[in-house]
Amino acid sequence: MSVLIEGKNLSKSFGGLTAVKEVDFHLSEGEIVGLIGPNGAGKTTLFNLITGIFPPDTGTLSFRGESLLERKPFEICRLGIGRTFQIVRPFLKMTCLENVLVGIIGRGEKGQGKGEKHEEAREILQVIGLAAHEQRLSKDLTLIEKKRLEMARALATKPRVILLDEVLAGLNPSEIQQALELIERIRSQFRITLFWIEHVMGAIMKASDRVVVLDQGRKIKEGKPQDVVTDPGVIEAYLGEENA
Partner 1 sequence: MKHREKWKRVDGPARIFVLILSLVVWNEIMDGKKTVFLILLLILAIFPPFVLSQYWLHVMIISLFYVMMASSWNLLAGFTGQVSFAHAAFSGVGAYLSGMLAVFLGLSPWLGIAAGTLGAAILGLGLGFLCIRMGGIYLSLTTLGFSEILRIVITNEDHWTRGTMGLQIPGLFAAYSKTSYYFAFLFFAVMMLVFIYWLIRSEWGVTFRAVLNDEIAASASGINTIRVRILAFTLTSAMAGLAGGLYGHYLMLITPDIPSLGQMFLVLAMAVIGGMGSFAGPIIGSFILEFLSEYIRTWGEYHVLLYGLIALAMARFAPEGIMGLWANKRRNP
Binding site for partner 1 (CB under 8 A): 51, 53, 72-74, 77-78, 82-83, 85, 89-94, 98, 101-103, 105-108, 114, 117, 153-154, 156-157
DSSP state of 66: E
175: left (phi over 0), alpha (psi -120 to 50) or beta: alpha
Give the nearest distance from C-beta 107 to partner 1 in angstroms: 6
Beta sheet of 66-67, edge-to-edge order: 17-28, 3-14, 58-63, 66-67
State the minimum distance, in angstroms, from the CB of residue 117 to partner 1. Answer: 8
Report, in Å, the least distance between residue 103 CB and partner 1.
Answer: 5
Of the pair 120, 184, the CB lying nearest partner 1 is at 120
Residue number with CB closer to partner 1 (139 or 185):
139
Give the Cα separation of 214 and 36 in Å (integer). 6
- State in angstroms the smallest separation of the CB of 82 from partner 1: 8
Crossing angle of helices 173-190/114-128, nearest 10°? 130
Residue number, 94 or 239, with CB nearest to partner 1: 94
**By C-beta, is 10 or 162 nearer to partner 1?**
162
Quick one: which of 86, 53, 89, 85 has its CA closest to 71?
53
